[in-house]
Amino acid sequence: MAMRPGERKGIAYATTCHLLVHSLELAYGVVLISIAREIGVTLLALGILANVFGLAYGITALPIGILADRHSATRLLGLSSVGMGLAAVVISMAHGAIVLGVGLSLLGIALGVFHPVANSFVSRISSRVGLGFAYLGTGGSLGVAIGPIIVGIIASGLSWRIAYAVLAVPCVVLGLLFLRFPDNSRVSSDEAQGKPAAPFSSLRPFLGPLIVVIFLGVLNGLIFRGVVTFLPTHLSENVNLGGVGIDSVLLAGSFTTIALLFGVAGQFLGGYLCDRHTREWIVLLSTAMTIPALAAVWAEGGVLLLASAAFFAFFHFMTQPVFNALITDYTPVLWRGRMFGIYFFCSLAGGSFSATGLGYVAETRGIETVFFVCAIFAIFATVFAIPLIVWAKKRRAASTHPTGAS
């Protein structure tokens, strides 16, 4: 089934915004070395600032999820994009840890608007939900993959401040485009025109799997925040180019891009498969595959380290569109904004604490130990994904008798 013009344009805008969201999110890890040298702070202090950023990112998702069910999605996405640009400008002007922390907090708030609104928006306008999330997720994965090398090139050639300032420009432009976009595909007309909110009782049959999916989101958030904060530095220190003289920031961005480009393929494949296969099985298998990948990132060096990071990125990002589709499966349509808000609040705010905790691990035990701890998180995630298979069987059995989760 081909996408409708309004559907195509809305998903294209949301996908582009997702690319910018993750480019800005990962910029901090890429320029960590430069910031540490210029401002003169430890890895632990920079980890705490990343924690503040991640906490603001996650906390914002909760109230925004409620607004996503009641207000214009495109207006909220427009304000998010403009806010991202303004926050990037503040960061680019920071000359101390306090202003840097303020800028990162503002950026976290602006980024926190995006996920619950965009995911609810895409779930409502997509004729094929899995494919819609595949495109949305691929944009995010491209941001995760190419963002680091773009930031690394700009920061090594000019400065980390200019890198943030350059990223601010497309954010503001996209925000203005969103604000001009007619939001006539937010929800269907009968849902948008004064229909009362779905009662909480409509969620009760799905609370078990929703709680598990949210808990898995927290564990994935812990892994993701630790990896994106410390992987660039770990790669730049442990992948040897045989004495070729390349700036450390550019090296960090380049190696991170090489590894995370595999996440783009994983993200799209996950979205493609979840329209064709049991989504809960995809979550279990892909989560299990991240365990040996993270263990190898901890244990290996050189080319094997880079290959292990790529292997991890492929399977880690494969789960993301599937989780979004599962939230859609188990949530009544008029609760989706709120449920996505709860999900991203828990995964982003909960995951933010790994930046401080793993910053301490990096400072005291060596940066490679961060990935051993992340492998332990992945073991827990795999174990807790098993109950989803039971619910999958129940959902298939009940598919001929649909309830409120439509």
Q: Each residue of 8-26: b (16+ CB within 10 Å) or e?
A: ebbbebbbbbbbbbbbbbb
State the pLDDT at residue 196.
Answer: 44
Distance CA 406, CA 399 (A): 11
* Residue 85 pLDDT class (50, 70, 90 cuts): very high
Among 93-97, 160-164, 245-249, 325-329, the range with the most confident prediction by mean pLDDT is 160-164
State the pLDDT at residue 172.
Answer: 92
- Whether residue 239 contacts residue 292, with contact meaning beta carbons closer than 8 Å, is answered with no
Indicate the residue type of 314: F
Task: Output the CA torsion sign for 158, 148, 140, 361.
Answer: negative
CATH classification of 9-187+202-397, choosing from 1.20.1250.20, 1.10.1040.10, 3.40.640.10, 3.10.20.600?
1.20.1250.20
pLDDT at 124 over 80: no
- Tell me the DSSP string of 196-250: PPPPGGGGGGGHHHHHHHHHHHHHHHHHHHHHHHHHHHHHHHH---TT----HHH
- Whether residue 253 contacts residue 151, with contact meaning beta carbons closer than 8 Å, is answered with yes
pLDDT at 222 over 50: yes
State the pLDDT at residue 185.
Answer: 46
- Whether residue 160 contacts residue 31, with contact meaning beta carbons closer than 8 Å, is answered with yes
Q: What is the 3-state secondary structure (H, E, C) of 84-139?
A: HHHHHHHHHCCCCHHHHHHHHHHHHHHHHHHHHHHHHHHHHHCCCHHHHHHHHHHH
pTM value is 0.67
pLDDT tens digits along 290-308: 899 898 888 777 778 888 8
Ranges of each domain in the chain: 9-187+202-397
Distance CA 273, CA 261 (A): 19
State the pLDDT at residue 305.
Answer: 81
Task: Output the CA torsion sign for 87, 93, 96, 98.
Answer: negative
Which DSSP state fits 335? G
pLDDT at 11 over 50: yes
Which of 277, 266, 314 minimizes the C-alpha distance to 138? 266
First-last CA distance in the chain: 19
Mean pLDDT of the chain: 77
* Residue 4 pLDDT class (50, 70, 90 cuts): low
* Three-point CA angle 179, 184, 190, nearest 5°: 140
Residues 6+ apart with CB under 8 A from 34: 155, 159, 160, 249
- Which is more confidently placed, 227 or 131? 227
CA distances from 310 to 298, 322, 351 (A): 13, 20, 21
pLDDT at 79 over 80: yes
- Whether residue 163 contacts residue 32, with contact meaning beta carbons closer than 8 Å, is answered with no
- Which is more confidently placed, 324 or 193? 324
- Which is more confidently placed, 296 or 255? 296
